[in-house]
Structure 1
Amino acid sequence: MARTLASIQRIVSMDPIPGADKIMHAGVLGWKCITAIDNGLKIGDLVIYIEIDSRVPPIPQFAFLEKRHYKVKTIKMRGVYSQGLIMPPKDFPTILGYEEGKDVTDILGITKIDTYEPGECSFGNKEQHPLDRFLCKFKIYRKLRPYILRKKERGWPSEIPHTDETRVQALWGTLQGVLQLDKKWYITVKVDGQSGTYYYKKRFFGKDFFGIYSRELRKKEGDNSNWAQIATKYRIREELKRFCEHHGVKSVWIQGEIAGPGIQKNKDHFTEKKFFIFNVYVPEEKKYVGPDGMVSFCEYHKMEMVPLISRKISLKDKTIDDLVEMSKGPSEWSKDDLREGIVIRELEDMSLNRISFKIVNPEFLLKYGC
């Protein structure tokens, strides 16, 4: 399902900004956006909310973003952050009358800012055809490529969820009530890299199954892609088989982030590619392994886990500002740099339906132009 980048939302707060008499700080969902007082917006008004990481079309209504190449990014003015863009619906006659929550991404022609790294669009230097490598420079080809490839190459197991976490601001309307139930949560660092999933399944007949996956595609074992290199470096096939034999189960999958040279500008200055595990799931038990279990898993199998900030914490009475503040801080590997953010996951429910969300450090977004 495509990500909702623009939707009809209601202003829930409107706060003055110290020292500023022409702008206000408006709250939409869990986001805070700077808006001009001249817009005449007030609490309770319906507006078009456009998320950060979006690109708006070059039409007169967005002419003020021309110098920013029509990109919606995190900005900071008068000491406050603005994450997203709010616009009065009256400026867009085609969506007048739409109800709160309506996705207007396609109607307005909003697209996601595409950040392409060569390694994301390959099966390894030995496998990728030069023409395919060249065409991968173009966004439209990268979008169509998974459908052009053979099913064998692009198949993602239906039983495994993708690794994208939803930002806390987008969930805030429903999350507030959940937090008041005083559930327990655990918190890990969000690593800035490439998502990787590794799946081992024992078969009664024939060779055991081992799958390597990027965010969308299956990768070939033994080639030169980042995902295959990690599988070799950490002996992932062998270790997952070992796990299954030791625990008497037939299958297991792990998910994590690949970081290092040539990946997302290697902001943490790693000297080699590393794999940081954030999910271990055992299908037969229908549950994820908890944080203590993941620590033991990584120690036993000589792998690395995303840094664990808190093993058990209550978030009752926390505000959105409190949670955003928790995301801030230096990188765990480079104290002169900033961490990307944190991921919070439910501790008491380890099923596939558990609640989890990410909080991206606004200082990180501001520094790296996100």
Structure 2
Amino acid sequence: MKIGVVADDFTGASDIALTLAEAGMSTAQYIGVPEGPADPDLGAGVVALKSRTAPVAEAVSQSLAACDWLRAQGAEQIIFKVCSTFDSTPEGNIGPVLDALAEKLGAETVITCPAFPENGRSVYMGHLFVGETLLNECGMQDHPLTPMTDADLRRWLALQSDQPVGHVSARVVAAGAQAIRDAMPEKGHVIVDAIQDDDLWTIGAAAAGARLLCGGSGIALGLPANFGAKPATPNWAPVTGAGIVLSGSCSRATRGQVETYAAKAASREVTAETVMSGAATVETLAEWALSQPGVPMIYSSADPVVVRAAQDQFGREAVAGRIETLFSDLAAHLADRGVQRIVVAGGETSGAVVSGLGATRLAIGPRIAAGVPLVRAEGRELALALKSGNFGGPDFFEQALRQMEGA
């Protein structure tokens, strides 16, 4: 293994696994830290954790354990994969985990860049943009778990980290890999600008030999070439069985996707009130889904105002935990009853679903949309699409289901 990835959620893990696989590295995604060794022919291993919103100490512990396993498999370079919108709070978890990984690996300086220009994420003058909009004005300021209220990544990371936070500008990046290396400070985390994919290739070249990097999936674009890998297209064998769409994301993009799909297929909303009261159960939702024609959708993707009201009434952690548990148990129940295609929207929801299915390793297939591959749960005939909230076009759900069938 040449490259090891510690991913703070399951959709992000699939995202960067796709980037590495398309760059020509044999790649596997693991659900949690594996107990046994990796395939010795593997070029890249991605350990998917559910640590993005976990307690800080737990996130650090899990991440260090993943790092230890990856290094034991021979990984020469570690990437700490975070969301392309840098999802975190002033307390963490990006800063504390990054500090701990840097100390373990002896990394004095760490390139940090969540940019993903293909998907509309860019970093300019240290500020993160979503499309043409600053991060804190794009809707992420309303995220129910990690409200992003400042687009300046230098300030945001400095709140979370004990290390100094530096910056390498777009002008320096445009001057090439050596210019980036020359501009790196002697110590700390360094926000590096990237406004187009070519910038990420340049950053990748500058990072040859680096022990640790932090970023979104785009940070991996230029790294496999340092190990001699050449671009490739992952294989896919069609899966044509029954399907379900499960959405737990409240992002603007997902709410639009839910609306688009609901106009074409049977859909059923699960509200916080019905979950907390016990009115929404696995058995009733499963019976409803299995009785519908086509591929139905079950969703909990309310407007942020509605979500905040429910959090105020029941408690943020309580609401999130109960909804995730419901989706986890529901996915397992439906898979046991023959559902073979599952499309999931939302990082936390995807983590809950994969955990419920008991999957330990995912094979990476071709892309559905930028940042979202088809994946297969190894050892069973089960196709998955794990989508971060803001990714994909309006018809993403229908597109994913078609591609699972080989279309």
- Give the alignment's TM-score, normalised by structure 1: 0.25
Greater percentage in strand: 1
1 or 2 for the larger relative contact order (CA 8 Å, sep ≥6)?
A: 2
- Give the alignment's TM-score, normalised by structure 2: 0.24
Greater percentage in helix: 2
Largest Rg, 1 or 2: 1
